[in-house]
Structure 1
Amino acid sequence: MAAERVSGAGVTVVGRARWERALIWGGFPVAGAVLGGLVWLVAGWVVALRWVPMRGPFELVDSLPDLPAALGCMGLGAVAGLVLAFVAEREYVTVAVGDDRVVCVRDGAERSVPRASVGAVFVDEGRLVLLDRRGRELLVYSAREGADLPGTERLARAFKAHGYPWSPGGDPHRDEYRRWVPDMPGLPSGANALLRARAKALDSGDGEEAAQLREELGRLGVVVREDGKKRQFWRCVPPPLG
Protein backbone atom coordinates (compact mmCIF):
# COMPACT_ATOMS: atom_id res chain seq x y z
CA MET A 1 0.00 0.00 0.00
CA ALA A 2 1.30 3.45 -0.80
CA ALA A 3 1.98 5.83 2.02
CA GLU A 4 -0.70 8.17 0.74
CA ARG A 5 -2.99 7.72 -2.21
CA VAL A 6 -6.32 8.93 -3.55
CA SER A 7 -8.69 6.20 -4.68
CA GLY A 8 -11.20 6.45 -7.48
CA ALA A 9 -13.91 7.23 -4.94
CA GLY A 10 -12.02 10.30 -3.75
CA VAL A 11 -10.75 8.65 -0.57
CA THR A 12 -7.24 9.47 0.65
CA VAL A 13 -5.62 6.40 2.18
CA VAL A 14 -2.73 6.93 4.57
CA GLY A 15 -0.94 3.67 5.16
CA ARG A 16 2.49 2.13 5.41
CA ALA A 17 4.82 2.98 2.53
CA ARG A 18 5.97 0.17 0.23
CA TRP A 19 9.59 0.60 1.31
CA GLU A 20 8.54 0.34 4.97
CA ARG A 21 6.67 -2.90 4.33
CA ALA A 22 9.62 -4.27 2.36
CA LEU A 23 11.96 -3.35 5.20
CA ILE A 24 9.75 -5.00 7.80
CA TRP A 25 8.96 -8.21 5.91
CA GLY A 26 12.47 -8.55 4.55
CA GLY A 27 14.58 -6.96 7.25
CA PHE A 28 13.06 -8.58 10.33
CA PRO A 29 13.57 -12.19 9.13
CA VAL A 30 17.10 -11.40 7.96
CA ALA A 31 17.95 -9.75 11.28
CA GLY A 32 16.46 -12.75 13.11
CA ALA A 33 18.54 -15.17 11.03
CA VAL A 34 21.70 -13.15 11.77
CA LEU A 35 20.95 -13.17 15.50
CA GLY A 36 20.31 -16.92 15.32
CA GLY A 37 23.67 -17.38 13.63
CA LEU A 38 25.33 -15.38 16.41
CA VAL A 39 23.71 -17.67 19.00
CA TRP A 40 25.29 -20.65 17.24
CA LEU A 41 28.67 -18.93 17.11
CA VAL A 42 28.77 -18.09 20.83
CA ALA A 43 27.10 -21.26 22.14
CA GLY A 44 30.37 -23.05 22.94
CA TRP A 45 31.82 -19.97 24.61
CA VAL A 46 28.70 -19.49 26.78
CA VAL A 47 28.70 -23.16 27.83
CA ALA A 48 32.29 -22.78 29.00
CA LEU A 49 31.24 -19.99 31.39
CA ARG A 50 29.91 -21.96 34.32
CA TRP A 51 28.50 -18.90 36.05
CA VAL A 52 26.08 -18.03 33.19
CA PRO A 53 22.45 -18.87 34.17
CA MET A 54 20.02 -20.70 31.88
CA ARG A 55 22.72 -22.37 29.80
CA GLY A 56 20.40 -25.18 28.69
CA PRO A 57 19.58 -23.85 25.19
CA PHE A 58 23.25 -23.05 24.53
CA GLU A 59 24.29 -26.53 25.68
CA LEU A 60 21.76 -28.04 23.29
CA VAL A 61 23.07 -25.99 20.38
CA ASP A 62 26.67 -26.82 21.28
CA SER A 63 25.89 -30.56 21.41
CA LEU A 64 24.57 -30.67 17.84
CA PRO A 65 26.67 -31.06 14.69
CA ASP A 66 27.79 -27.69 13.33
CA LEU A 67 25.73 -27.55 10.14
CA PRO A 68 22.37 -28.62 11.61
CA ALA A 69 22.94 -26.37 14.62
CA ALA A 70 23.77 -23.33 12.48
CA LEU A 71 20.85 -23.88 10.10
CA GLY A 72 18.47 -24.53 12.98
CA CYS A 73 19.46 -21.36 14.85
CA MET A 74 19.24 -19.24 11.73
CA GLY A 75 15.89 -20.78 10.76
CA LEU A 76 14.38 -20.19 14.18
CA GLY A 77 15.67 -16.62 14.11
CA ALA A 78 14.09 -16.03 10.70
CA VAL A 79 10.76 -17.42 11.91
CA ALA A 80 10.89 -15.15 14.96
CA GLY A 81 11.53 -12.21 12.61
CA LEU A 82 8.49 -13.15 10.53
CA VAL A 83 6.36 -13.26 13.68
CA LEU A 84 7.57 -9.78 14.65
CA ALA A 85 6.83 -8.52 11.13
CA PHE A 86 3.30 -9.93 11.36
CA VAL A 87 2.73 -8.22 14.73
CA ALA A 88 4.07 -4.92 13.37
CA GLU A 89 1.74 -5.14 10.38
CA ARG A 90 -1.29 -5.90 12.52
CA GLU A 91 -0.66 -3.01 14.92
CA TYR A 92 -0.31 -0.42 12.16
CA VAL A 93 -3.28 1.93 11.76
CA THR A 94 -4.36 2.52 8.16
CA VAL A 95 -6.53 5.62 7.80
CA ALA A 96 -8.91 6.17 4.87
CA VAL A 97 -10.23 9.73 4.79
CA GLY A 98 -13.25 10.48 2.60
CA ASP A 99 -15.57 13.42 2.21
CA ASP A 100 -18.32 11.68 4.17
CA ARG A 101 -16.47 9.49 6.69
CA VAL A 102 -13.18 8.29 8.15
CA VAL A 103 -12.41 4.58 8.23
CA CYS A 104 -9.51 3.25 10.32
CA VAL A 105 -8.25 -0.33 10.27
CA ARG A 106 -5.99 -1.87 12.90
CA ASP A 107 -5.43 -5.52 13.79
CA GLY A 108 -8.12 -6.54 11.31
CA ALA A 109 -10.77 -4.40 13.05
CA GLU A 110 -12.42 -1.57 11.10
CA ARG A 111 -13.87 1.53 12.76
CA SER A 112 -15.82 4.21 10.91
CA VAL A 113 -16.77 7.76 11.92
CA PRO A 114 -19.17 9.94 9.86
CA ARG A 115 -17.77 13.30 8.79
CA ALA A 116 -20.80 15.13 10.24
CA SER A 117 -19.92 13.88 13.75
CA VAL A 118 -16.35 15.18 13.76
CA GLY A 119 -15.64 18.41 15.64
CA ALA A 120 -11.83 18.18 15.79
CA VAL A 121 -8.98 15.94 14.60
CA PHE A 122 -5.46 16.03 15.98
CA VAL A 123 -2.31 14.09 16.77
CA ASP A 124 -0.92 14.68 20.24
CA GLU A 125 1.80 12.80 22.13
CA GLY A 126 1.53 9.68 19.98
CA ARG A 127 -2.27 9.70 19.82
CA LEU A 128 -4.59 10.12 16.82
CA VAL A 129 -7.87 11.51 18.17
CA LEU A 130 -11.21 12.39 16.60
CA LEU A 131 -13.55 14.43 18.82
CA ASP A 132 -17.20 15.22 18.37
CA ARG A 133 -18.57 18.75 18.59
CA ARG A 134 -19.00 18.48 22.38
CA GLY A 135 -15.42 17.40 23.03
CA ARG A 136 -16.14 13.68 23.42
CA GLU A 137 -13.76 11.15 21.90
CA LEU A 138 -15.11 9.42 18.83
CA LEU A 139 -11.95 7.55 17.96
CA VAL A 140 -8.54 7.22 19.61
CA TYR A 141 -5.43 5.32 18.58
CA SER A 142 -2.55 5.62 21.02
CA ALA A 143 1.05 4.47 20.69
CA ARG A 144 1.03 3.72 24.43
CA GLU A 145 -1.88 1.35 23.82
CA GLY A 146 0.06 -0.49 21.10
CA ALA A 147 -1.02 1.39 17.97
CA ASP A 148 1.53 2.23 15.26
CA LEU A 149 0.46 5.47 13.56
CA PRO A 150 1.28 7.10 10.21
CA GLY A 151 3.26 10.33 10.31
CA THR A 152 1.53 13.47 11.56
CA GLU A 153 2.20 15.45 8.38
CA ARG A 154 0.70 12.78 6.16
CA LEU A 155 -2.39 12.57 8.34
CA ALA A 156 -2.73 16.36 8.40
CA ARG A 157 -2.59 16.58 4.59
CA ALA A 158 -5.24 13.88 4.20
CA PHE A 159 -7.70 15.34 6.71
CA LYS A 160 -7.27 18.93 5.53
CA ALA A 161 -7.66 17.88 1.90
CA HIS A 162 -11.16 16.63 2.73
CA GLY A 163 -12.14 19.63 4.83
CA TYR A 164 -11.93 18.09 8.31
CA PRO A 165 -11.32 20.44 11.27
CA TRP A 166 -7.64 19.63 11.80
CA SER A 167 -6.17 21.06 15.02
CA PRO A 168 -2.49 21.81 14.29
CA GLY A 169 -1.71 22.62 17.92
CA GLY A 170 -2.83 19.25 19.22
CA ASP A 171 -5.63 18.78 21.73
CA PRO A 172 -7.83 21.91 21.73
CA HIS A 173 -9.01 20.99 25.25
CA ARG A 174 -5.53 20.60 26.75
CA ASP A 175 -6.11 23.33 29.37
CA GLU A 176 -9.20 21.57 30.71
CA TYR A 177 -7.42 18.46 32.00
CA ARG A 178 -6.70 17.81 35.66
CA ARG A 179 -4.06 15.47 37.05
CA TRP A 180 -5.62 12.33 38.46
CA VAL A 181 -4.76 11.11 41.94
CA PRO A 182 -6.58 8.22 43.66
CA ASP A 183 -10.02 9.00 45.08
CA MET A 184 -10.01 12.62 43.97
CA PRO A 185 -13.40 14.41 43.99
CA GLY A 186 -15.25 15.69 40.95
CA LEU A 187 -15.37 12.43 39.01
CA PRO A 188 -18.52 10.43 38.23
CA SER A 189 -19.27 7.40 40.34
CA GLY A 190 -17.05 4.48 39.36
CA ALA A 191 -14.49 6.57 37.48
CA ASN A 192 -11.85 6.42 40.22
CA ALA A 193 -11.92 2.62 40.20
CA LEU A 194 -11.52 2.56 36.42
CA LEU A 195 -8.65 5.05 36.58
CA ARG A 196 -6.89 2.93 39.21
CA ALA A 197 -7.26 -0.15 37.03
CA ARG A 198 -6.03 1.78 34.00
CA ALA A 199 -2.97 3.03 35.93
CA LYS A 200 -2.06 -0.60 36.63
CA ALA A 201 -2.56 -1.50 32.97
CA LEU A 202 -0.28 1.33 31.86
CA ASP A 203 2.38 0.35 34.39
CA SER A 204 2.32 -3.26 33.19
CA GLY A 205 2.31 -2.30 29.51
CA ASP A 206 -1.09 -3.87 28.82
CA GLY A 207 -2.19 -1.57 25.99
CA GLU A 208 -5.36 -3.50 25.16
CA GLU A 209 -6.60 -3.29 28.74
CA ALA A 210 -5.75 0.41 28.93
CA ALA A 211 -7.71 1.06 25.71
CA GLN A 212 -10.77 -0.82 26.98
CA LEU A 213 -10.72 1.07 30.28
CA ARG A 214 -10.41 4.39 28.43
CA GLU A 215 -13.55 3.52 26.49
CA GLU A 216 -15.35 2.59 29.71
CA LEU A 217 -14.41 5.98 31.16
CA GLY A 218 -15.76 7.64 28.02
CA ARG A 219 -19.14 6.03 28.67
CA LEU A 220 -19.15 7.76 32.07
CA GLY A 221 -18.34 11.11 30.48
CA VAL A 222 -14.62 11.13 31.36
CA VAL A 223 -11.92 11.77 28.75
CA VAL A 224 -8.51 10.53 29.87
CA ARG A 225 -5.00 10.83 28.51
CA GLU A 226 -1.55 10.08 29.90
CA ASP A 227 1.90 11.60 29.55
CA GLY A 228 5.28 9.97 29.01
CA LYS A 229 5.56 9.16 32.71
CA LYS A 230 2.22 7.30 32.61
CA ARG A 231 0.52 9.96 34.73
CA GLN A 232 -3.18 10.22 33.89
CA PHE A 233 -5.10 13.43 33.24
CA TRP A 234 -8.85 13.76 32.89
CA ARG A 235 -11.66 16.11 31.94
CA CYS A 236 -15.42 15.69 32.07
CA VAL A 237 -17.75 15.86 29.06
CA PRO A 238 -21.47 15.16 28.61
CA PRO A 239 -21.82 11.34 28.58
CA PRO A 240 -23.01 9.80 25.31
CA LEU A 241 -26.71 9.15 24.93
CA GLY A 242 -27.98 5.67 25.39
Structure 2
Amino acid sequence: MTSEESLGPVPLRKDRTTVLGYPRGDLLTVLIGMPILGLLLGIALPPLARWLGDLPVLPWRDGIALVGSLDRPWHTAIAVGLGLVVGLLIAGTDYDETLKVTLTDQELVADLHERKRSIERARVSAVFLDGKELVVLDESSREFTRGVHKTAARALARALRSHGYPWQEADPHAALFHRWIPGAPGLPAEAHAVLVARKAALKNKAADDVRDLAETMQGLGYVVRDEGKDQYWRPLAVGTDERGGAARD
Protein backbone atom coordinates (compact mmCIF):
# COMPACT_ATOMS: atom_id res chain seq x y z
CA MET A 1 0.00 0.00 0.00
CA THR A 2 1.38 3.36 -0.99
CA SER A 3 0.49 6.64 0.63
CA GLU A 4 -1.06 7.72 -2.65
CA GLU A 5 -3.51 4.80 -2.63
CA SER A 6 -4.80 5.81 0.78
CA LEU A 7 -5.57 9.32 -0.33
CA GLY A 8 -8.12 8.57 -3.08
CA PRO A 9 -7.76 10.72 -6.23
CA VAL A 10 -4.37 12.40 -5.96
CA PRO A 11 -3.22 14.24 -9.09
CA LEU A 12 0.56 14.41 -9.28
CA ARG A 13 1.14 17.29 -11.65
CA LYS A 14 4.68 16.45 -12.66
CA ASP A 15 3.97 13.16 -14.43
CA ARG A 16 0.17 13.48 -14.74
CA THR A 17 -0.53 10.41 -12.63
CA THR A 18 -3.68 9.95 -10.57
CA VAL A 19 -4.12 7.13 -8.08
CA LEU A 20 -7.69 6.12 -7.30
CA GLY A 21 -7.29 3.98 -4.25
CA TYR A 22 -8.77 3.57 -0.81
CA PRO A 23 -10.00 6.98 0.46
CA ARG A 24 -8.14 8.03 3.60
CA GLY A 25 -11.29 8.34 5.70
CA ASP A 26 -12.47 4.82 4.78
CA LEU A 27 -8.99 3.41 5.28
CA LEU A 28 -8.71 4.90 8.78
CA THR A 29 -12.20 3.66 9.63
CA VAL A 30 -11.34 0.12 8.58
CA LEU A 31 -7.78 -0.10 9.90
CA ILE A 32 -8.56 1.60 13.21
CA GLY A 33 -12.29 1.05 13.65
CA MET A 34 -12.39 -2.69 13.01
CA PRO A 35 -9.62 -3.56 15.50
CA ILE A 36 -11.28 -1.29 18.10
CA LEU A 37 -14.59 -3.06 17.44
CA GLY A 38 -12.82 -6.39 17.89
CA LEU A 39 -11.28 -5.10 21.12
CA LEU A 40 -14.66 -4.02 22.47
CA LEU A 41 -16.24 -7.34 21.52
CA GLY A 42 -13.43 -9.19 23.27
CA ILE A 43 -14.16 -7.24 26.46
CA ALA A 44 -17.97 -7.29 26.21
CA LEU A 45 -18.72 -10.84 25.07
CA PRO A 46 -18.05 -12.76 28.33
CA PRO A 47 -20.36 -10.63 30.54
CA LEU A 48 -22.95 -10.56 27.75
CA ALA A 49 -22.79 -14.36 27.50
CA ARG A 50 -23.26 -14.68 31.29
CA TRP A 51 -26.33 -12.44 31.09
CA LEU A 52 -27.76 -14.46 28.20
CA GLY A 53 -27.10 -17.67 30.11
CA ASP A 54 -29.83 -16.71 32.58
CA LEU A 55 -32.53 -16.71 29.90
CA PRO A 56 -34.91 -19.71 30.12
CA VAL A 57 -34.96 -20.50 26.38
CA LEU A 58 -31.60 -20.17 24.64
CA PRO A 59 -30.10 -21.85 21.57
CA TRP A 60 -26.41 -22.86 21.60
CA ARG A 61 -26.51 -22.73 25.42
CA ASP A 62 -23.29 -24.75 25.86
CA GLY A 63 -21.27 -22.47 23.60
CA ILE A 64 -22.61 -19.33 25.24
CA ALA A 65 -21.92 -20.78 28.68
CA LEU A 66 -18.31 -21.44 27.62
CA VAL A 67 -17.88 -17.82 26.51
CA GLY A 68 -19.46 -16.64 29.76
CA SER A 69 -16.99 -18.67 31.81
CA LEU A 70 -14.07 -16.62 30.46
CA ASP A 71 -14.00 -14.26 33.46
CA ARG A 72 -10.37 -14.42 34.53
CA PRO A 73 -7.94 -11.64 33.53
CA TRP A 74 -5.96 -13.89 31.21
CA HIS A 75 -9.21 -15.09 29.61
CA THR A 76 -10.14 -11.48 28.95
CA ALA A 77 -6.68 -10.79 27.51
CA ILE A 78 -7.05 -13.72 25.10
CA ALA A 79 -10.53 -12.59 24.06
CA VAL A 80 -9.29 -9.05 23.47
CA GLY A 81 -6.34 -10.37 21.45
CA LEU A 82 -8.60 -12.53 19.32
CA GLY A 83 -10.91 -9.58 18.77
CA LEU A 84 -8.02 -7.45 17.59
CA VAL A 85 -6.77 -10.18 15.24
CA VAL A 86 -10.24 -10.70 13.75
CA GLY A 87 -10.64 -6.95 13.29
CA LEU A 88 -7.30 -6.68 11.50
CA LEU A 89 -8.12 -9.65 9.28
CA ILE A 90 -11.43 -8.10 8.29
CA ALA A 91 -9.70 -4.78 7.58
CA GLY A 92 -7.01 -6.46 5.48
CA THR A 93 -9.56 -8.47 3.50
CA ASP A 94 -11.63 -5.36 2.79
CA TYR A 95 -8.54 -3.54 1.51
CA ASP A 96 -7.45 -6.49 -0.63
CA GLU A 97 -10.92 -6.83 -2.19
CA THR A 98 -10.95 -3.17 -3.25
CA LEU A 99 -10.00 -2.25 -6.82
CA LYS A 100 -7.19 0.31 -7.09
CA VAL A 101 -6.71 2.25 -10.32
CA THR A 102 -3.73 4.31 -11.51
CA LEU A 103 -4.32 6.74 -14.38
CA THR A 104 -2.02 8.53 -16.77
CA ASP A 105 -2.82 10.20 -20.07
CA GLN A 106 -1.47 7.07 -21.80
CA GLU A 107 -2.78 4.08 -19.81
CA LEU A 108 -4.98 2.79 -17.01
CA VAL A 109 -3.54 0.26 -14.54
CA ALA A 110 -5.95 -1.85 -12.48
CA ASP A 111 -4.72 -3.52 -9.28
CA LEU A 112 -7.01 -6.15 -7.82
CA HIS A 113 -6.05 -9.11 -5.61
CA GLU A 114 -2.37 -8.15 -6.03
CA ARG A 115 -2.60 -8.54 -9.81
CA LYS A 116 -1.84 -5.53 -11.98
CA ARG A 117 -3.10 -5.19 -15.53
CA SER A 118 -2.79 -2.24 -17.88
CA ILE A 119 -4.74 -1.01 -20.88
CA GLU A 120 -3.99 1.87 -23.23
CA ARG A 121 -6.30 4.85 -22.89
CA ALA A 122 -7.18 4.66 -26.60
CA ARG A 123 -8.56 1.14 -26.04
CA VAL A 124 -10.94 2.13 -23.22
CA SER A 125 -14.48 2.57 -24.54
CA ALA A 126 -16.29 3.28 -21.25
CA VAL A 127 -15.78 3.57 -17.49
CA PHE A 128 -18.77 3.56 -15.14
CA LEU A 129 -20.07 2.45 -11.76
CA ASP A 130 -22.31 -0.60 -11.54
CA GLY A 131 -23.59 -0.33 -8.00
CA LYS A 132 -20.44 -0.30 -5.85
CA GLU A 133 -18.26 -1.79 -8.60
CA LEU A 134 -16.11 0.18 -11.01
CA VAL A 135 -16.19 -1.25 -14.53
CA VAL A 136 -13.77 -0.53 -17.37
CA LEU A 137 -14.71 -1.67 -20.89
CA ASP A 138 -12.29 -2.10 -23.76
CA GLU A 139 -12.91 -1.31 -27.43
CA SER A 140 -14.84 -4.55 -27.99
CA SER A 141 -17.03 -3.84 -24.90
CA ARG A 142 -15.29 -6.60 -22.90
CA GLU A 143 -14.95 -5.94 -19.19
CA PHE A 144 -11.25 -5.19 -18.79
CA THR A 145 -11.76 -4.96 -15.04
CA ARG A 146 -14.59 -4.93 -12.50
CA GLY A 147 -14.24 -4.52 -8.77
CA VAL A 148 -15.57 -2.82 -5.66
CA HIS A 149 -14.21 0.73 -5.51
CA LYS A 150 -14.41 3.20 -2.63
CA THR A 151 -13.94 6.59 -4.34
CA ALA A 152 -17.10 8.69 -4.71
CA ALA A 153 -18.65 8.82 -8.18
CA ARG A 154 -18.11 12.56 -8.57
CA ALA A 155 -14.40 12.28 -7.75
CA LEU A 156 -14.05 9.30 -10.09
CA ALA A 157 -15.68 11.17 -12.95
CA ARG A 158 -13.49 14.24 -12.42
CA ALA A 159 -10.27 12.22 -12.27
CA LEU A 160 -11.05 10.04 -15.29
CA ARG A 161 -12.22 12.90 -17.47
CA SER A 162 -9.13 14.95 -16.57
CA HIS A 163 -7.04 12.22 -18.24
CA GLY A 164 -9.37 11.86 -21.22
CA TYR A 165 -11.11 8.61 -20.26
CA PRO A 166 -14.75 8.14 -21.39
CA TRP A 167 -16.61 8.28 -18.08
CA GLN A 168 -20.26 7.23 -18.34
CA GLU A 169 -23.01 7.75 -15.79
CA ALA A 170 -24.30 4.21 -16.47
CA ASP A 171 -23.48 1.12 -18.51
CA PRO A 172 -23.87 2.17 -22.17
CA HIS A 173 -24.71 -1.45 -23.09
CA ALA A 174 -27.25 -2.08 -20.32
CA ALA A 175 -30.09 -2.59 -22.81
CA LEU A 176 -28.30 -5.59 -24.36
CA PHE A 177 -28.39 -7.74 -21.20
CA HIS A 178 -30.71 -10.74 -20.94
CA ARG A 179 -31.53 -12.72 -17.82
CA TRP A 180 -30.02 -16.16 -18.11
CA ILE A 181 -32.50 -19.02 -18.29
CA PRO A 182 -30.89 -22.47 -18.53
CA GLY A 183 -31.27 -23.91 -22.03
CA ALA A 184 -33.05 -20.84 -23.43
CA PRO A 185 -32.25 -19.95 -27.06
CA GLY A 186 -29.76 -17.20 -27.79
CA LEU A 187 -26.69 -18.82 -26.25
CA PRO A 188 -24.64 -21.79 -27.46
CA ALA A 189 -24.53 -24.93 -25.33
CA GLU A 190 -20.96 -24.16 -24.26
CA ALA A 191 -22.00 -20.79 -22.82
CA HIS A 192 -24.91 -22.39 -20.97
CA ALA A 193 -22.49 -24.91 -19.44
CA VAL A 194 -20.23 -22.09 -18.23
CA LEU A 195 -23.16 -20.26 -16.65
CA VAL A 196 -24.33 -23.46 -14.93
CA ALA A 197 -20.86 -23.82 -13.40
CA ARG A 198 -20.78 -20.14 -12.49
CA LYS A 199 -24.17 -20.39 -10.77
CA ALA A 200 -22.76 -23.17 -8.59
CA ALA A 201 -19.67 -21.07 -7.85
CA LEU A 202 -21.86 -18.14 -6.83
CA LYS A 203 -23.87 -20.40 -4.52
CA ASN A 204 -20.66 -21.70 -2.94
CA LYS A 205 -19.23 -18.16 -2.70
CA ALA A 206 -16.16 -19.24 -4.68
CA ALA A 207 -15.13 -15.74 -5.76
CA ASP A 208 -12.08 -16.80 -7.77
CA ASP A 209 -14.12 -19.33 -9.77
CA VAL A 210 -16.85 -16.75 -10.34
CA ARG A 211 -14.32 -14.31 -11.83
CA ASP A 212 -12.57 -16.99 -13.90
CA LEU A 213 -15.84 -18.22 -15.38
CA ALA A 214 -16.84 -14.65 -16.25
CA GLU A 215 -13.55 -14.40 -18.17
CA THR A 216 -14.36 -17.69 -19.90
CA MET A 217 -17.71 -16.25 -21.01
CA GLN A 218 -15.93 -13.22 -22.45
CA GLY A 219 -13.68 -15.58 -24.39
CA LEU A 220 -16.85 -17.04 -25.90
CA GLY A 221 -18.03 -13.56 -26.84
CA TYR A 222 -20.36 -12.70 -23.96
CA VAL A 223 -20.26 -10.42 -20.92
CA VAL A 224 -21.94 -11.65 -17.74
CA ARG A 225 -23.06 -9.70 -14.68
CA ASP A 226 -25.10 -10.46 -11.58
CA GLU A 227 -28.25 -8.96 -10.13
CA GLY A 228 -29.17 -10.59 -6.84
CA LYS A 229 -29.15 -14.35 -7.45
CA ASP A 230 -29.66 -14.00 -11.20
CA GLN A 231 -27.03 -13.94 -13.94
CA TYR A 232 -27.42 -11.64 -16.92
CA TRP A 233 -25.53 -11.87 -20.22
CA ARG A 234 -25.00 -9.82 -23.35
CA PRO A 235 -23.01 -10.31 -26.54
CA LEU A 236 -19.91 -8.22 -27.11
CA ALA A 237 -20.97 -5.00 -28.78
CA VAL A 238 -18.06 -4.89 -31.26
CA GLY A 239 -16.79 -8.33 -32.21
CA THR A 240 -14.55 -10.41 -29.97
CA ASP A 241 -11.13 -9.20 -28.89
CA GLU A 242 -8.92 -11.67 -27.02
CA ARG A 243 -6.10 -9.31 -26.20
CA GLY A 244 -7.41 -8.02 -22.88
CA GLY A 245 -5.02 -6.01 -20.71
CA ALA A 246 -1.30 -6.62 -20.66
CA ALA A 247 -0.33 -8.39 -17.46
CA ARG A 248 2.36 -6.72 -15.44
CA ASP A 249 4.35 -7.89 -12.44
TM-score tier after normalising by the smaller chain length: 0.7 to 0.9
Amino acid at match of 1:121: V
**SS at 1:159's partner residue?**
helix
Partner of 2:231: 232
CA shift for structure 1 position 149: 3.9
Counterpart pick for 1:89 among 88, 95, 98: 95
Q: Are the aligned partners of 2:110 and 2:145 in contact in 1 as well (CA < 8 Å)? A: no
Which residue number corresponds to residue 2 of structure 1?
A: 7
CA contact (8 A) 1:102 1:115 kept: yes
Q: Which residue of 1 aligns with 2:163?
A: 162
CA shift digits 1:113-165 (9 cap, x unpaired): 11121112211233322222232222222xxxxx3443222221111001111
Q: Which has the higher contact order (CA 8 A, sep 6+)?
A: 2
| Cα displacement string for residues 86-111 of structure 1 (whole angstroms, at most 9, x for unaligned residues) | 11111121111111111121222212
CA contact (8 A) 2:36 2:87 kept: yes
What is the letter of the counterpart of residue 9 of structure 2? Answer: E
- Asked whether 1:205 is paired with 2:205, we answer yes
Segments of 5+ residues of structure 2 without an aligned counterpart are 1-5, 244-249
Aligned mates of 1:2, 1:167 — CA distance in 2: 23
Distance 1:64 1:109, change over 3 A: same
2:131 is the counterpart of 1:125? yes
- Equivalent residue, structure 2, for 1:217: 217
Q: Write the distance in 1 (CA, Å) between the matches of 2:234 and 2:49.
A: 55
For 2:43 and 2:88, the matched residues in 1 are separated by 16
| Partner AA of 2:8 in structure 1 | A
CA distance in 2, matches of 1:165, 1:231: 29
Find the counterpart in structure 2 of residue 144 from structure 1: none
Conserved? CA contact 1:93–1:105, under 8 Å: yes
Secondary structure in 2 aligned to 1:128?
strand
Give the 3 Å change call, closer, same or farther, for CA 156–129 of structure 1 in structure 2. Answer: same
Which letter maps to 2:34?
F
Relative to structure 1, the CA distance from residue 183 to residue 125 in structure 2 (aligned partners, 3 Å threshold; closer, same or farther) is same
Is 1:104 the equivalent of 2:104? no
Residue aligning to 2:3: none
Shift of 1:112: 1.2
- The answer to whether the 8 A contact 2:23-2:151 is kept is no
Task: Label 1:226 to 1:44 Cα distance change in 2 as closer, same or farther (>3 A).
Answer: closer
Kept in 1: contact 2:46–2:67 (CA 8 A)? yes
Name the amino acid aligned to 1:154.
Answer: A
Match of 2:246 in 1: none
CA distance in 1, matches of 2:139, 2:107: 15
Structure 1 counterpart of 2:145: 139
Residues 137/56 of structure 1: CA separation in 2 closer, same or farther (3 Å cut): same
Deviation at 1:63, TM superposition (A): 4.1
The CA distance in 1 between the partners of 2:70 and 2:231, in whole Å, is 52
SS in structure 2 of the partner of residue 129 of structure 1: strand
Quote the offset at 1:61 in angstroms: 4.3
Superposed CA RMSD in Å reads 2.2
Answer whether contact 1:14 1:154 (CA < 8 A) is retained: no
Q: Is the 8 A contact 2:41 2:83 kept in 1?
A: yes
The aligned length equals 235
Q: Does 1:34 align with 2:40?
A: yes
- Shift in Å, 1:217: 0.2
**Partner Cα distance (2:133, 2:27) in 1:** 22
Quick check: 1:15–1:95 contact (8 Å CA) kept in 2?
yes
For structure 1, the residue ranges without an aligned partner over 5 or more in a row are 142-146
Give the partner amino acid of 2:30: I
Inter-partner Cα distance in structure 1 for 2:220 and 2:53: 57
